[in-house]
Structure 1
Amino acid sequence: MFSRLSQVTRHLSPSSLAQAARASAPGMTMATAVDERRTRTIHTAACLIIGDEVLGGKTVDTNSAYMAKWCFSLGINLKRVEAIQDDESEIIEATRRMSERYDFVVTSGGIGPTHDDITYQSIAKAFSLPLKLHPEAFEKMKRLSRPHPSQPKFDWDTDSPALKAKLRMVELPTDESRPLDQQFFFPYDDLWVPVTVVNGNVHILPGVPRLFERLLDGMKPLIIPRLVDPEGKGSYRVLFSTPLPESAVAPYLSELAAKVEPHGVKVGSYPRWGKKWNTVTLVGRDHDYLESLVSEVEKNVQGKRVKDEADNDSGGESDADA
């Protein structure tokens, strides 16, 4: 990737630096800091994937990829994706660190009914919160849960190991000094699992991709008003195909990156092994400025603009550098 050829990018805007300074100001109370994180303009994001099954190769993580596209479409700079084990100390460290460094944090996984689902309890401990039964989530669970056809109707009124396992999923980190509607959000009537918000900016989501994607999309009405561009137009990506290897285009791309950086544009170069054409990308928020660069880039990389990386695929050996 061109990132290994070009300068280290810097994306902490003056406004986000000011927000971080306010959040750590000596006179700021804990409650005020949480409010600041809950309402600040969202510049940056992080995604924390939690699960032994991901790190062990049993489950393929698709949630971080979905969130990356989601953030790109909204113009949010996804700064970090991290995968960790179902380990309390790791979850505590990672969520504290991400909450401090990024405006919008999403966790995925570890909120099921079994002994190794420890995300809720770990994040509660990270921010010194108790786990409390959420009455609305519990009532929704009872109403919406359907037993397998081969199983008898579930007894919600009798204490049992199965009931205790279900309750693990609705005993949520709760700040009793704050309104519940600032901590829990139910985007859809047909889902009993809420988005749980801790410390103002940590959003706890399930690891099941279908649920993760729906709940993330369901948060848009709350997130869009807090974007740099409240219309949520997001970022734009312009792709070019070039027959030249990375080593041939690197000098020009380095010059181009320095030229466009003040305009908030990133330049990328991606070798495509086994193909005759490599890809160069421009990514930024200013559509007109990106369009003004097209002819210049086409000329200097001896290529052409494409809608998709596969537009010029015709097999053959790659001209990419080894």
Structure 2
Amino acid sequence: MASKVMKRVLSNHFLRRCFCSVDNKITTAGIIVIGDEILKGEVADTNSTFLAVELHLMGLKLEKISVIGDDVKAVCGEVRHFAGIYDYVLTSGGIGPTHDDITYEAVALAFNQPLVLDPLLKEICMKFYNTTDVKYPGMKLAYIPKTSKLTFSDGAAGLKMAYPNVSIKNVYMFPGIPELLVKSFSNLKGVLFKSDKKFYTKSIYFNITEDKIVAALEKLVKEYPNVQFGSYPKLLHRVYKVKVTIESCCEESTDEAYNKLMTLVPRQYIVNIDDI
């Protein structure tokens, strides 16, 4: 009897400690997608989806995605706002030689800095565009906010980017071309972004509609305030009607909430994941 009581006390103590660790600040991020073509539907934005998945895998909490047109003042205001409330701000698009590539200008304005011709980027652009004319359109990529940092690689014996990520304070500017953004982020994410958290996620699939599991979910939401529950209905799937995700920064909390939900809903309503 004493042994069982002790186990329960230790278990409760561990969960409180685990919950407490979840209460520690999670590193946050915001994404600003820049481009009139996105707002007009001419181009589908795949960059924010890619970044959202990657940031989540790194233990970073993405809190907002904003899409802004090619307007210097609008981008400036959004960058300034995001930089003040999120740990990391990632921009996508607006880097290039044409009139509508205004990201560097807008970010410089957001931090009250001038655009300057970076000597290293000058050499890179001259070589790439085969020119010595600093007024050549392609040289626009060499003019960046004055205190910008250039990151070419992750510091390991890996691939060095031909053109670096340009960042200033907590704002990291990525190209809008998906292939270039994926390559740049994938090669540099380890050195640009840090988090001491990890998200632990489990999923349960049900062959009943959402309304049938509301009571169980509401009970768990109150019982596990540091666990995030998501309910996602599927209208035409042949096997399941609702997918529920259980997630937190504490593996034990996620497991316990998952196991509890499995007991609150009759087993015949739970779909074997192998059947999906």
Which is further off, 102-111 or 272-281?
A: 272-281
- Structure 1 pair 15/270, CA: closer, same or farther in 2 (3 Å)? closer
1:269 aligns with 2:225: no
**Superposed displacement of residue 268, structure 1:** 0.6
8 A Cα contact 2:152 2:163, kept in partner: yes
Q: Which amino acid aligns with 2:144?
A: L
1:167 aligns with 2:139: yes
**Superposed displacement of residue 53, structure 1:** 0.5
8 A Cα contact 2:28 2:61, kept in partner: yes
- Structure 1 pair 289/205, CA: closer, same or farther in 2 (3 Å)? same
8 A Cα contact 2:33 2:92, kept in partner: yes
8 A Cα contact 1:241 1:312, kept in partner: no
Question: How many angstroms apart in 1 are the aligned matches of 2:49 and 2:32?
Answer: 12
C-alpha RMSD of the superposition: 2.3
Question: How many angstroms apart in 2 are the aligned matches of 1:254 and 1:164?
Answer: 61
1:83 is paired with a residue of what secondary structure? Answer: strand
1:120 to 104, 118, 121: 104
Q: What is aligned with 2:32?
A: 48
Q: Which amino acid aligns with 2:44?
A: V
Q: Which amino acid aligns with 1:136?
A: L
TM-score, normalised to structure 1, is 0.70
1:192 is paired with a residue of what secondary structure? Answer: coil
**Superposed displacement of residue 202, structure 1:** 0.6
Q: What is aligned with 1:25?
A: none
Q: Which amino acid aligns with 1:204?
A: M
TM-score, normalised to structure 2, is 0.81
1:131 to 98, 108, 115: 115
Q: What is aligned with 2:170?
A: 201
**Superposed displacement of residue 49, structure 1:** 0.3
- The CA deviation string for residues 200-228 of structure 1, in whole angstroms up to 9 with x for no partner, is 1011111111111222223333245x422
- The CA deviation string for residues 170-225 of structure 1, in whole angstroms up to 9 with x for no partner, is 111112xxxx6xx2211275533221112x1011111111111222223333245x
Question: How many angstroms apart in 1 are the aligned matches of 2:252 and 2:79?
Answer: 38
**Superposed displacement of residue 124, structure 1:** 0.8
- The CA deviation string for residues 263-282 of structure 1, in whole angstroms up to 9 with x for no partner, is x3100100112124210110
2:202 to 202, 216, 238: 238
> Quick one: percent identity of the two aligned structures?
28
Q: Which amino acid aligns with 2:233?
A: P
2:106 is paired with a residue of what secondary structure? Answer: helix
Q: Which amino acid aligns with 1:166?
A: G
8 A Cα contact 2:220 2:257, kept in partner: no
- Structure 1 pair 288/305, CA: closer, same or farther in 2 (3 Å)? farther
Which is further off, 188-197 or 86-95?
A: 188-197
Give ranges in structure 1 of 5+ residues lacking alignment: 1-12, 17-41, 146-153, 314-322
**Superposed displacement of residue 137, structure 1:** 2.1
1:99 aligns with 2:83: yes
- Structure 1 pair 139/116, CA: closer, same or farther in 2 (3 Å)? same
Q: What is aligned with 1:8?
A: none
Give ranges in structure 2 of 5+ residues lacking alignment: 1-21
- Structure 1 pair 299/133, CA: closer, same or farther in 2 (3 Å)? same
Question: How many angstroms apart in 2 are the aligned matches of 1:117 and 1:306?
Answer: 50
**Superposed displacement of residue 299, structure 1:** 3.0
Question: How many angstroms apart in 2 are the aligned matches of 1:260 and 1:167?
Answer: 54
Q: Which amino acid aligns with 2:228?
A: K
- Structure 1 pair 289/306, CA: closer, same or farther in 2 (3 Å)? farther
Question: How many angstroms apart in 2 are the aligned matches of 1:312 and 1:67?
Answer: 30
**Superposed displacement of residue 125, structure 1:** 1.1
**Superposed displacement of residue 74, structure 1:** 1.2
Q: What is aligned with 2:195?
A: 227
